[in-house]
């Protein structure tokens, strides 16, 4: 009943009995796609991949890709919040914008004691007509 | 890129080996993020990989798990694959399989007792005297696995890569780290030995050796 299996083709045919069933192939395929989908690439690997790209033909494209990664990832949000914090600190140091404008206006008013030569001359900001 | 795979559930179904040029173009496409190309690569090579790794695993479930590991590793690191002259994509896949299987074997708690249990199961599998094709195949499969379990691990790797995955001697040598001459010697030696063991397990009599079935 059984064929001789000591020659290569016959042994290969014997190994063909180890073929997975169609259901097993589908099952494995679904498991593989699930695992690949869950494969999380940390951001540092994305950055590393950009630098490891061989060859880097366009530095401009590489920089654009890096900017894209920054903008579209939590890093971009962190940078934005950080920049906002820095700017708000600098505004507080200068005072509020309204106070700043008012201070600038008082300064220009105090320096405009010399009457302007031409009545039609447009007054400087903060300068009152009655001040001269 | 890998999130795209989740949206296309089309893995499955074995396919015959295709020309290496087609495989190369699929690899390039998959490397660029084409999930359908990755799926096709899987379908084309799943059978070969499974046939090879099944001989190294004590059960179908473990063989399926190992096959999954191979493809996850391969498809997630396609950027590391370099096409070499005379080396096929499938040989790279099987090299990954060999490494993963060796890692598992080191961590595995498989004992000689389990091998003997496999042999006993093979011997006791033939219940029906008038076996259909499927039962014949199952008996042969169990006999083959039992016979393979009795040969050393490295020789088992060589034989299953050569006859299960249908790699050339050169490809087997590259995957296992052996020389090509050594691979041929192992195949020559183990081929006859496996034949004898399988016949013994299946209970062939000397008079049946020359009989061939269709």
Predicted pLDDT at A129 = 46
User: What span, in angstroms and rounded, lies between the C-alpha atoms of B27 and B92?
Assistant: 12
Q: Are B64 and A27 a contacting pair at CB < 8 A?
A: yes
Better-predicted residue by pLDDT, B37 or B132: B37
Tell me the count of A-B CB pairs closer than 8 A: 139
Query: Nearest residue of A to residue B2 by CA position?
Result: A37
Residues of chain B positioned with their CB less than 8 A from the CB of A4 = 195, 209-210, 212
Cβ-nearest to A3 among B6, B55, B212: B212
- With 80 as the cut, is the pLDDT of residue A108 above it? no
pLDDT at B68 over 70: yes
pLDDT at position A16 is 92
Q: What pLDDT is attached to residue B1?
A: 42
Model confidence pLDDT, tens digit, residues B28-67: 999 888 889 999 999 999 999 999 999 999 999 999 999 9
Give the Cα separation of B24 and B81 in Å (integer). Answer: 11
Model confidence at A9, pLDDT cuts 50, 70, 90, reads confident
Q: How confident is the model at residue A73 (pLDDT cuts 50, 70, 90)?
A: confident
Q: Indicate yes or no: CB of B11 within 8 angstroms of CB of A39.
A: no
pLDDT digits (tens, 9 = 90+) for B93-117: 999 999 999 998 888 755 544 554 5
Q: Residues of B88-107 as b/e, b for ≥16 C-beta within 10 angstroms?
A: bbbbbbbbbbbebbeebeee
Place of tokens 């063989």: B63
Average pLDDT in the A82-102 region?
Answer: 70
pLDDT for B129:
45
Q: Is A106 in the B-facing interface, judged by CB distances under 8 Å?
A: no
More confident residue, A111 or B178: B178
Of chain B, the percentage scoring pLDDT greater than 90 comes to 54
Of B5, B51, B138, the CB nearest to A37: B5
DSSP 8-state assignment for residue A54 = S
What's the average model confidence in pLDDT over B78-83?
Answer: 86
Contact list, B68 vs chain A (CB under 8 Å) = 28, 31-32, 35
Looking at residue A43, what is its pLDDT? Answer: 62
Q: Phi then psi for B211, rounded to 5 degrees?
A: -80, 135
Written as one string, the DSSP assignment of B119-181 is: HHHHHT----SS--HHHHHHHHHHHHHHHHHTS-HHHHHHHIIIIIS---HHHHHHHHT--HH
Share of chain A above pLDDT 90, in %: 15
Q: Assess whether pLDDT exceeds 90 at residue A8.
A: no
ipTM of the complex: 0.75
- Tell me the whole-structure pTM to 2 decimals: 0.61
Count of beta carbons in the 10 Å neighbourhood of residue B31: 15
Cα angle, residue B154 at apex, residues B16 and B84 outer, rounded to 5°: 50
Chain B residues 32-71 with a CB less than 8 Å from chain A: 39, 42-43, 46-47, 50-51, 54-55, 60, 64, 67-68, 71
CA B184 to chain centre: 18
Q: Is B152 on the interface with A (CB under 8 A)?
A: no
Note which residues in 7-46 of chain A have CB less than 8 A from chain B: 7-8, 11-12, 14-20, 22, 24-37, 39, 41
Q: Is B133 on the interface with A (CB under 8 A)?
A: no
pLDDT of A82: 84
Residue A7: predicted pLDDT: 60
B213 contact A CB<8A:
yes
């Amino acid at each position: 009943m059984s064929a001789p299996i000591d020659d290569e083709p016959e042994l290969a045919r014997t190994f063909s009995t180890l073929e997975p069933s169609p259901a097993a192939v589908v099952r494995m395929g679904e498991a593989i796609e699930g695992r690949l989908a869950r494969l999380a690439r940390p951001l540092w690997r994305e950055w590393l991949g950009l630098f490891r790209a061989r060859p880097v033909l366009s530095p401009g494209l590489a920089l654009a890709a890096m900017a894209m990664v920054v903008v579209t990832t939590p890093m971009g949000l962190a940078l934005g919040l950080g920049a906002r914090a820095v700017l708000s600190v600098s505004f507080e140091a200068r005072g509020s914008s309204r106070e700043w404008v008012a201070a600038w206006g008082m300064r220009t008013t105090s320096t405009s004691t010399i009457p302007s030569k031409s009545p039609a001359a447009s007054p400087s900001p903060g300068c009152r007509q009655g001040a001269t | 890129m890998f999130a795209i795979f989740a949206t296309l559930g089309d893995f499955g179904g074995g396919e015959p080996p295709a020309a290496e040029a087609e495989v190369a173009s699929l690899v390039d496409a998959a490397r660029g993020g084409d999930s359908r190309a990755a799926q096709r690569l899987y379908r084309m090579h799943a059978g070969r990989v499974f046939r090879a790794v099944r001989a190294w695993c004590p059960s179908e479930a473990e063989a399926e798990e190992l096959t999954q590991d191979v493809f996850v590793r391969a498809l997630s690191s396609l950027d590391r694959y370099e096409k070499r002259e005379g080396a096929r994509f499938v040989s790279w896949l099987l090299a990954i399989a060999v490494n993963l299987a060796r890692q598992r074997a080191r961590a595995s708690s498989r004992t000689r007792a389990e091998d003997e249990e496999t042999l006993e199961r093979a011997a006791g599998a033939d219940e029906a005297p008038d076996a259909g094709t499927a039962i014949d195949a199952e008996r042969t499969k169990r006999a083959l696995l039992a016979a393979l379990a009795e040969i050393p691990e490295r020789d088992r790797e060589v034989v299953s890569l050569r006859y299960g995955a249908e790699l050339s001697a050169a490809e087997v040598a590259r995957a296992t780290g052996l020389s090509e001459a050594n691979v041929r010697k192992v195949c020559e030696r183990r081929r006859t030995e496996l034949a004898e063991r399988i016949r013994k397990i299946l209970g062939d009599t000397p008079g049946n050796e020359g009989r061939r079935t269709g």
